[in-house]
Amino acid sequence: MAKLINTHLSDSILHFKRGDHPAAFTLTVYNESYKEKESHQFASFQLNLLAAGTTQNISDDWYRLVPAVSYKIPPGDSTQFQVEILDVPPVTEDFTGTMNLTARVYSPELRDEDRRDIRLVVGGETLLPPKLSLPEQYFRALPEEVVDIAVTLYNPNRKAIECAVKLNGLEPSWFPEGIQRSTELSPREEKIVHFSCHIPLPAQAASQLYTLTFEVLRPVAVAAASQASLEILPAGTINFSCDPQACWLPEEPGRWFNPRHSRADFALNLDNRSNLPLSGTVTVTALEKSRPWKFWQRKKEKSAADDTGLPEGISLTPGFVDMAVGETTTMTLDVERKLPWFGWSRIKHLRVEETLSDAHPAMADNATKCQTLELQILPMIPVWLQLVAGLAAAAIVGGVLWKLMNQSHTGPVNSVQFNGRGNEVISASDDQTVRRWRIRGRRLVSAGVVEKSDKAVRVVRYRPVNNDEVIAGFENGSLAVNNLLSNKSSIFEFASDDRVFDLAFSRDARMLFSAHGSGLVLQWGADPSQRITRQNEPIRTIETDFAVGAIALLGQTDTQLAIGGRFNQLILVDLATQESRNLPYWPGGQTDYILSMATAEARPEHLVTADSQGNIALWDIDQCLSSLISCEPTDQWLGHGGAAVRAVDLSQDGCYLASAGDDGHVRLWPLTTAGTRHPQALEGDILQSSKESMNAVAIIQQRNRLKIVGGGDDSRVRLSTLPVKPGRQPRGKCAVQ
């Protein structure tokens, strides 16, 4: 069998001397796999050196190869290894003379190897450095303690040597006997030398981890022959004091009146008596008062705090300090107070406490870390004058509060609507009232309470045509009709405790439909000329198998009724034939509801729906009536970032959609004639924002201006107005087709 690997040495005899330059040679490897057809292939090669008298398991750090492994070469090609002898192979510690080395080349692909012999001539007369070791490499001590550091020296040479060792890494003054030791070592002798370290006072020995290095100075200099660590443990304490401990505000009281503002300064002293460089600050806390304050003053005092975390009117200079070992730092606490107008003198206590960011648990406890400062705060006005002013102020405040509480809602707003002229708004709330608002420019002005009941009002609507009546739906299932001109009222009630969720009028205002949580949709006679004071029986009852959340009348003659509610159910009822059909909608569970529906006056065949999953959908009902197969929304999207959409409304021409959701926003969506979102406003425009949910919305267009009103859990009714570009589109047509 032919040999597949061939090698060539640049030198077969090498000379090496300890401490001198490395001995180097080049080994060239040839891929001769072409000599056999079956072995004709690319191959990589590995090289290792073997020393006579050693095993193959010894460390190979006495030589260096470049490269460590060759890349694959084709048959007939060659590669080279650069070899450097860095040290004498580990035969004996002081070997001199000639040593036989073997260079072994192996290829895993060819499964063959080649060997070459090399003679290594090791020169003598060079002293080996003594071996240095540490019996213990980690030391811990407190200030003012003595640490004994032992170092073991071993002479590997065949003759005696004079050895000197130096310790580095600590202050020389910590070693009364010096940082260098000298000793004589016989051949093969081992000896221990000691360094005695006297750690000074805490102020002179910072608590940290010190690295100790040992350097052999002679007979052969070897830097950093070994290392150890010395940890100086934390010790000491921090003294905290305040000057003064108490003061008056103001320092010199006036005869008749005291100044509105008064201030006092306190010096806070931090004395670092530890062996740690420390950083910290002082926290200030207002304690309970010795005399009760007025309730509004106490609330303000407890809640007021600036960005620094200090109570209102208190500043600390500097806010944060760095203290070197043994350093005393002074911080200035400035207390500025507005003197109270009323009451007696008050005692206010401030607790000041040192706060260290890097204190060590081993440090001694500081008995003075917390101090209490006392402030005597005087009022501005004498007591006799306070009594007179207090009575007058109480009367004024009571009148103002009464007026404010009777001009706005005090509970979440559930429903809003414009009248036909767009100059008034009605709103319904959980505070059991229906309120009327007049529009003055861009704001709403209260026009009083239309309805006051003992139940929360869920929905409210104007009676179409004349807008002379307001119909409210209550939590208990009843309806109240209030005539705005005659102040007469009527009650519709079929079943108690059947919450009303929505109301819908026919165009001629003769039919009124109410949606209930039991799944019933009731039709009432809404004609004032034929209406009695109290109706207990509806004209028609439509039953569903789900709680109804929203309804809407569709078509020019109001012949279709859309009903939506729990489980995201959406059905269409033909009022003439009583037939119903399900419209395709997103599936929902027990907690999913269709919450709102609306149509446009000029386009009654268009329907918009919104649900608790945040979906908004636009529908062409004419298309659904002609074929359920093609009954799909003309547009659908996630309207409020996934939050529930509580209410939707369309402008009269169906070109604008307003929505309100649990994300606290009221959004405006311009639409196209085809019943889709405007391509340049796919995300809608935010018109109103609140930190709480928005529950109700209404929109109306007057000439070239849109008005949008919204209400929510924050009890407010908001009005937004914005201009729209004038156009000449036919009725029922939008700017974008």
Mean pLDDT, range 17-27, rounded to an integer: 86
Q: Are 691 and 651 in contact (CB under 8 A)?
A: no
> Domains in the chain and their CATH numbers?
5-122 (2.60.40.10), 131-232 (2.60.40.10), 238-377 (2.60.40.2310), 544-723 (2.130.10.10)
User: Which H helix or E strand runs over 489?
Assistant: strand 489-492
Residue 535: Cβ-neighbour burial (10 angstroms; 0-12, 13-18, 19+): middle
Asked if the model's pLDDT at residue 293 lies above 60, the reply is: no
The two most distant CA atoms of the chain are separated, in Å, by: 133
Measure the CA–CA gap between 554 and 603, rounded to whole angstroms: 9
pLDDT tens digits for range 518-543? 999 999 988 888 888 888 899 999 99
Asked if the model's pLDDT at residue 305 lies above 50, the reply is: no
Give the strands of the sheet with 321-323, arranged side by side.
246-249, 370-377, 346-356, 278-286, 321-323
Q: Whole-number mean pLDDT of the chain?
A: 86
Closest residue by Cα to residue 660 from 716, 607, 604, 701: 716
The sign one gets for the Cα dihedral 525, 526, 528, 529 is negative
Could you identify the residue written with the tokens 């209550």?
474
Taking the whole predicted model, whether its pTM rises above 0.85 is answered as no
User: Which H helix or E strand runs over 388?
Assistant: helix 383-405
pLDDT tens digits for range 174-211? 999 999 988 888 888 899 999 999 999 887 888 889 99
Residue 404: Cβ-neighbour burial (10 angstroms; 0-12, 13-18, 19+): exposed
Closest residue by Cα to residue 555 from 572, 578, 533, 540: 572
Measure the CA–CA gap between 685 and 688, rounded to whole angstroms: 9
Q: Are 252 and 309 in contact (CB under 8 A)?
A: no
C-alpha neighbours within 13 Å on the C-beta side of residue 314: 23
Q: What percent of the chain has pLDDT over 70?
A: 90
Looking at the DSSP assignment, which residues form a beta bridge with residue 581?
572
Contacts 24+ apart (CB under 8 A), 504-510: 504/461, 504/551, 504/552, 504/553, 504/561, 505/461, 505/463, 505/464, 505/553, 506/464, 506/553, 506/558, 507/464, 507/553, 507/558, 508/464, 508/465, 509/463, 509/464, 509/465, 509/466
Q: Are 110 and 6 in contact (CB under 8 A)?
A: no
Q: Are 41 and 101 in contact (CB under 8 A)?
A: no
Measure the CA–CA gap between 426 and 473, rounded to whole angstroms: 13
User: Which H helix or E strand runs over 347?
Assistant: strand 346-356
Asked if the model's pLDDT at residue 659 lies above 90, the reply is: yes
CA distance readout (Å), 40 to 30, 45, 46, 466, 655: 13, 15, 19, 104, 81
Measure the CA–CA gap between 411 and 714, rounded to whole angstroms: 7
DSSP string, 434-464: EEEEEEETTEEEEEEEEEE-SS-EEEEEE-T
DSSP state for residue 35 in the 8-state scheme: G
pLDDT tens digits for range 600-655? 999 999 999 999 999 999 999 888 877 656 688 999 999 899 999 999 999 999 99
Please, which pLDDT band fits residue 69 given cuts at 50, 70 and 90?
confident
Residue 8 pLDDT: 93
Closest residue by Cα to residue 680 from 689, 671, 692, 688: 671
Measure the CA–CA gap between 468 and 461, rounded to whole angstroms: 11
